[in-house]
Amino acid sequence: MGTVSKALSLLAHFSCDKSEIGLSDLTRLSGMNKATVFRMMSELQQSGFVEQTGADRSYRLGPQVLRLAALREAAVPILSVSRQVLRDLSDEVGETCHLSLVQGMQLNSLSHAYSPRHATKVMLEDAEVLAFHATASGLAVLAYSNTAFIDAILTSPLSSHTPDTITQPGKIRAQLDQVRTCGIAESIGGFEAEVHSHAVPVFGPDCQPIGALAVAAPASRMTAAQKDLIPQALHRAGASLTHSTGGMPPASYPVFTKT
Amino acid sequence: MGTVSKALSLLAHFSCDKSEIGLSDLTRLSGMNKATVFRMMSELQQSGFVEQTGADRSYRLGPQVLRLAALREAAVPILSVSRQVLRDLSDEVGETCHLSLVQGMQLNSLSHAYSPRHATKVMLEDAEVLAFHATASGLAVLAYSNTAFIDAILTSPLSSHTPDTITQPGKIRAQLDQVRTCGIAESIGGFEAEVHSHAVPVFGPDCQPIGALAVAAPASRMTAAQKDLIPQALHRAGASLTHSTGGMPPASYPVFTKT
DNA sequence: CCGCATGGTTCATTATTTGAACAGGCGGTT
DNA sequence: AACCGCCTGTTCAAATAATGAACCATGCGG
């Protein structure tokens, strides 16, 4: 593993609940020598990717990532285009909606819209990492991914997030087949207990999924009417988002019909 | 210069009007050997910071920067907090408003609000790099920066963006003194011809400026009423933004009074 | 067909990275 | 006051990775 990759892997340790990390913690998390971590973080800091903060001099992500994200959005405006789609969908179905993007072997939930209709709602952390096998979003993406990607995901460790998480590759493959028949993935309590989620893939110009659009609701609120409304609204919103960002679904993606 | 810094410096070549760059172009821009650029870009790609696109395999910024920006915003929500402040200010003054953040020796305009009041408006590029000496935003930041930073900026090459750009350090220092008396910077045609800009600094928790909030308008629309309204509205909005993000102005920052 | 550009690759040489051991500061405990 | 355990930060001989000149394959325009 090259020096650049090692340095960048340090940035992967930051998360929503770990926004500031000290030198010794980074040393433990990364398994690298403290002097090595120190030197790499110093270079990342000089380049603006991290900055030191507080009396204990811990590190956090720096302002340069905002600039690069703005440039990325200028080129591929997936987040800004999705914002209105998420708001409209959330208003229509009255539940939490979110967009997740595939980033390597990871699925990151990057944009959310919350409905004011209920005080109790499913909340997601910023840049939350979702498990492919345990979430509707992940299953939606996998169902339309190439075989090599599916194999890679299903041969990596599949952790149990709740007692309801399906972790056997055979059963997951059967779930993927089910997604392919109707174009929507569904997960009940697979990632978060008592959360019922639906998701559709969002496709790029190469007909490969770049992410997923999902509705997440407390299972107790899934009435027959909601079970009818959510798939239809989600399918339309997903198609709209794919289209708005210059993507196109594969020929095998089903045109939605009422269940 | 370390290997990590060199690799990250490749990312600095991306801009709004250069969102995709080929291997040979990056080699020319960076002055590094093509094999070195190739290896570094490959590592950046494996880490999700860039991706290759199109038939010519050129590079563009990758999805990982979206995730890091989301995490940075979760920790320091400067862009999301500023969004409403910019919208309100833009509605009030009827002109383009934008927030720029200091990133090392650079000032990047990262968030904008446009007013629908006029068809003709000042447009900014995404993540546009502003010149400290030639912009109201830059002057607002410099006026409250430490002496070493001011010296560093004024001893670096100061380019002439328009015939009206002031490039003599002595004159710029006089401008900074003027900003310090009233807490607002003003620039007429210094960066963009016929654009009249006002800006106030936005302060961090350490009373140092982290960026600037600006109003940019065509000079022809600067009526006496606007010349009265804009400084007042801008001063309030800047104070609000500083406060909302946990910052505080230095004791020397003037409490605004009507001119 | 040729010249020139592109993206991509190789491997002997060179430069950089590495990490064990160390330093100083701070807070808590005795 | 002294000591301990942790933190951030530093050094430099040894080890490892990076480097770049030269090369390859492909595509395009004249």
Residue A45 lies in a domain: yes
pLDDT at B245 over 90: no
Residue B255 lies in a domain: no
pLDDT digits (tens, 9 = 90+) for A170-198: 999 999 999 999 999 999 998 989 999 99
Which protein residue has its CA closest to C1' of C9?
B35
Judgement on whether residues A118 and A223 belong to the same structural domain of the protein: yes
> What is the distance between the alpha carbons of residues A83 and A67, in angstroms, rounded to a whole number?
19
Judgement on whether residues A117 and A54 belong to the same structural domain of the protein: no
- Strand D contact residues in chain A (53-112), C-beta within 7 Å: 56-58
Judgement on whether residues B40 and B150 belong to the same structural domain of the protein: no
Check residue B259 and give its pLDDT.
Answer: 46
Residue A258 lies in a domain: no
Long-range residue pairs from B45-51, CB within 8 A, at least 24 positions apart, any chain: B46/A5, B46/A104, B47/A4, B47/A5, B47/A8, B47/A9, B47/A104, B48/A103, B48/A104, B49/A8, B49/A68, B49/B11, B50/B11
* Among B68, B110, B210, the residue to mutate for chain A (most A Cβ within 10 A): B68
pLDDT digits (tens, 9 = 90+) for B143-184: 999 998 999 999 999 999 999 899 999 999 999 999 999 999
pLDDT at A231 over 80: yes
CB pairs under 8 A between A and B: 158
Judgement on whether residues B26 and B123 belong to the same structural domain of the protein: no
Judgement on whether residues A35 and A61 belong to the same structural domain of the protein: yes
Check residue A105 and give its pLDDT.
Answer: 86
C chain positions with any atom within 7 Å of a protein CB: 5-11, 16-21
Which protein residue has its CA closest to C1' of D23?
B35
ipTM: 0.89
From B42, B66, B90, the end of a domain falls on B66
Across chain B, mean pLDDT equals: 92
pLDDT at B32 over 50: yes
The CATH code of the domain that includes A212 is: 3.30.450.40
Judgement on whether residues A110 and A159 belong to the same structural domain of the protein: yes
Give mean pLDDT, residues A211-224.
Answer: 95
Give the count of domains, chain B.
Answer: 2
pLDDT at B22 over 70: yes
From B22, B47, B66, the end of a domain falls on B66
Owning domain of residue A149: 76-244
CA distance A114 to chain B (A): 15
Give backbone dihedrals phi and psi of B202, rounded to 5 degrees, phi first.
Answer: -115, 130
The CATH code of the domain that includes A61 is: 1.10.10.10
Which pLDDT band, with edges at 50, 70 and 90, does A259 fall under?
Answer: very low
Share of chain B above pLDDT 70, in %: 98
CB contact burial A7-22 (16+ within 10 A = b; e otherwise): bbebbbebbeeebebe
Judgement on whether residues B37 and B7 belong to the same structural domain of the protein: yes
Residue A259 lies in a domain: no
Judgement on whether residues B97 and B28 belong to the same structural domain of the protein: no
Instruction: Give the CA distances from residue A83 to residues A98, A112, A113, A244, B185, in Å, rounded to whole numbers and listed in that order.
Output: 9, 8, 8, 12, 34
Residues 84-123 of chain A whose Cβ lies under 8 A from any Cβ of chain B: 101-104, 108, 110
Check residue A257 and give its pLDDT.
Answer: 59
Judgement on whether residues B51 and B134 belong to the same structural domain of the protein: no
Which pLDDT band, with edges at 50, 70 and 90, does B119 fall under?
Answer: confident
Judgement on whether residues A122 and A196 belong to the same structural domain of the protein: yes
pLDDT digits (tens, 9 = 90+) for A57-103: 999 999 999 999 999 999 989 998 999 999 999 999 999 999 999 98
From A15, A31, A66, the end of a domain falls on A66
Judgement on whether residues B145 and B119 belong to the same structural domain of the protein: yes
Residue B253 lies in a domain: no
pLDDT digits (tens, 9 = 90+) for B193-229: 899 999 999 998 888 999 999 999 999 999 999 999 9
Residue B3 CB in 7 A reach of strand C: yes
User: Do A110 and B5 count as a contact with CB atoms less than 8 A apart?
Assistant: no
Judgement on whether residues A105 and A233 belong to the same structural domain of the protein: yes
Check residue B137 and give its pLDDT.
Answer: 97
Chain A residue numbers with beta carbons less than 8 Å from the beta carbon of B72 are 60-63, 65-66
